[in-house]
Chain A
Amino acid sequence: MGPHHPSTHGVFRMVVTLDGETIVKLKPVFGYLHRNHEKLGENTSYLASMPYTDRLDYLSSMTNNWAYAIAVEKLAGQPVPERAEYVRVILAELTRLLNHTCLAGFLMQDCGCSGTPLMYAFREREYILDLFESLSGSRMMCNYQRFGGCRVDPSADWLAGAKKLTDRYGMFLDEFEALLTGNEIIMARTQGVGRLSPELAINAAVTGPMLRATGVNYDLRKVDGYGVYPRFDFRVPLGDHGDVYDRYMIRVLEMRESIKILQQAFAGLPAGPILDSKSKNRGLRPKAGEAYGRIEGPKGEIGFYLLSDGGANPLRYRVRPPSFINLTILEDMCLGHTVADAVIILGSVDIVLGEVDR
């Protein structure tokens, strides 16, 4: 299957061996979108890698930026002002809403509900992208975070718009769930399909909603408590069966928790500078050392490992891509299912090939 197949979420190929219609062997083939991301990072300055991180997981550039900024801030010992931390949380949660909404739409598209859920999902995504555009200048390639804060201070108008969107997002989710969650065809199609055991998920280093759908309580927002997340009151939804339906449900529930976080963040947003006055972006030469910055991205743990020798470029630049690592267990989930199920199992993993191939 693939590499140019609408169900493969990009250029991704699966070599499937079948017995009748049952999958007995599945070998993923990727690398069609390889762009040498990590080597580029070693040959450009720290700041110049920031726009490239947008292009990893192009649905959630804000969280990629944040993870990279955290890694460099750790390396350079750069503090971040409180307002910037709040703005980062707001943007990360908006990204989570965007990503999960899109995923639900894509997953339904893979199930065969052509168009309708995806179009509703994209309608809502458009509002979030409009917000990103009016803040950062670009819809998807935001390039917004900087070492020691953010690039632009969101205006009061922008914040009012984002707050309005957050307040009515719950209504959209109610409607979306009325359309999908109780739908008998979707239940029949997704329940019990692509089951993943918690042991295998932990052993394969699966993170994010994929892991939580199996019932393992591991969310970096709680575990690491990076940024200002410990100040917010939210729950981590957990699944029970680890099947495709659970993965869909986890994402819907996470969106509801994101709305709660957003409302608390808007209420607690302090005034102050958005970028640390001593921050250095251009010509940054951190001391020799290493740093690993990670956050809970919408797809799982997105991390950047940087090794510095004191020069203007990192000596080693490595990305921990959640899409790629979550994809390693694809064969285990697909064995014994039909080809049509393999499509929705791949859809439920939530991959972006820009991040898998890098």
Chain B
Amino acid sequence: MLGTGLIQGLAVTAKNLVGSFHDPARYTTVEYPEVKQKLPEAYRNFPFLVAENAEDPMGTLRCVACLICEKECPPQCIYIVRERDAKGKVVTRPKVFDIDISVCMSCQICVEVCPFDAIKMDQEFEIATASRFDALLLKKEDLAKPNTYYHQIHPKEAAEVDAILAEQKAKAAATKAEAASKSEAAKATKPASATTPSPAAPRAEAPKPPPAA
């Protein structure tokens, strides 16, 4: 009969309309500014830099300014200048670390390629500003956030990262101790060579390059 399809359709809309009053499955909207949905742990939008210590974020950045993320960033929104000491030698610390979040496309590739777990994705999304330029160019000071914050937003991932970093640290310490004990042994066997510098000693003192994960 002509019109049965129409009536059937209207029955569906009526079911949804009535259902929206008592069935949460049919009432799916959220009154946004007042009510906020919990974000999933994996949610990402813009990167931030992890600092070990909340008191001194600038001094304890994990970033060593290796420029890998700057090179790999698809829209090239990262700009890094390495710090140099008084003699002009490169120090493993960024002097400038800017992210232009008006260019950033939240792809997470910087996080993936970072061998030091220094850059991670933030979850803050209410960042609308009135200015197009300065407010959207985040400096090192804006980007640095403590590790505790990282634990807060990505608890599972942060715990894994901490475990890996602790393991790496322990390994580095172990190799260092081993090298030191070896040089001690070398010194002990050759007491006459105390005046001449032992070839093993400077190698043991040299800072170990962090292993590329």
Count of A-B contacts judged by CB separation below 8 Å:
78
With A175-B12, A183-B9 as known contacts, state yes or no: A47 contacts B109, CB within 8 Å: yes
A142 to chain B, nearest CB (A): 10
Bound CA span A182–B6, Å: 8
Q: Are A51 and B42 in contact (CB under 8 A)?
A: no
Q: Are A134 and B40 in contact (CB under 8 A)?
A: yes
Which residues of A are found within 8 Å of B43, using beta-carbon distances? Answer: 133-134, 137-138
Contact of B109 among A51, A116, A184 (CB under 8 A): A51
Q: Are B108 and A134 in contact (CB under 8 A)?
A: no
Q: Are B9 and A136 in contact (CB under 8 A)?
A: no
Q: Are A120 and B108 in contact (CB under 8 A)?
A: no
B113 within 8 Å of A (CB atoms): yes
Q: Are A138 and B106 in contact (CB under 8 A)?
A: yes
Q: Are B108 and A179 in contact (CB under 8 A)?
A: no
B143 within 8 Å of A (CB atoms): no
Which residues of B are found within 8 Å of A120, using beta-carbon distances? Answer: 16
With A48-B72, A183-B6, A185-B6 as known contacts, state yes or no: A141 contacts B13, CB within 8 Å: no
Q: Are B107 and A178 in contact (CB under 8 A)?
A: no
Bound CA span A181–B4, Å: 11
Contact of B12 among A52, A143, A152, A179 (CB under 8 A): A179
Q: Are B44 and A138 in contact (CB under 8 A)?
A: yes
Bound CA span A138–B111, Å: 14
With A143-B108, A178-B9, A182-B5 as known contacts, state yes or no: A137 contacts B121, CB within 8 Å: yes
Q: Are B28 and A126 in contact (CB under 8 A)?
A: yes
Q: Are A184 and B74 in contact (CB under 8 A)?
A: no
Closest A residue, CB atoms, query B154? A137
Q: Are A184 and B6 in contact (CB under 8 A)?
A: yes
Bound CA span A55–B2, Å: 44
Bound CA span A29–B12, Å: 39
A123 within 8 Å of B (CB atoms): yes
Q: Are A143 and B6 in contact (CB under 8 A)?
A: no
Q: Which of A134, A137, A180, A185 has the most CB of B within 10 A?
A: A137
Bound CA span A49–B108, Å: 13
List which A170-227 residues lie within 8 A (CB) of chain B: 175, 178-185, 187
Binding site for A on B (CB under 8 A): 2-6, 8-9, 11-13, 15-16, 28, 40-44, 72-74, 105-109, 112-113, 121
Binding site for B on A (CB under 8 A): 44-45, 47-52, 54, 116, 120, 123, 126, 130, 133-138, 141, 143, 151-152, 175, 178-185, 187, 281-282
Given A54-B107, A281-B112, output 19 extra A-B contacts at Cβ < 8 Å.
A51-B74, A51-B105, A52-B74, A134-B42, A135-B42, A137-B42, A137-B43, A137-B44, A137-B108, A152-B42, A178-B12, A179-B13, A182-B4, A182-B8, A182-B9, A183-B8, A183-B9, A184-B6, A187-B5
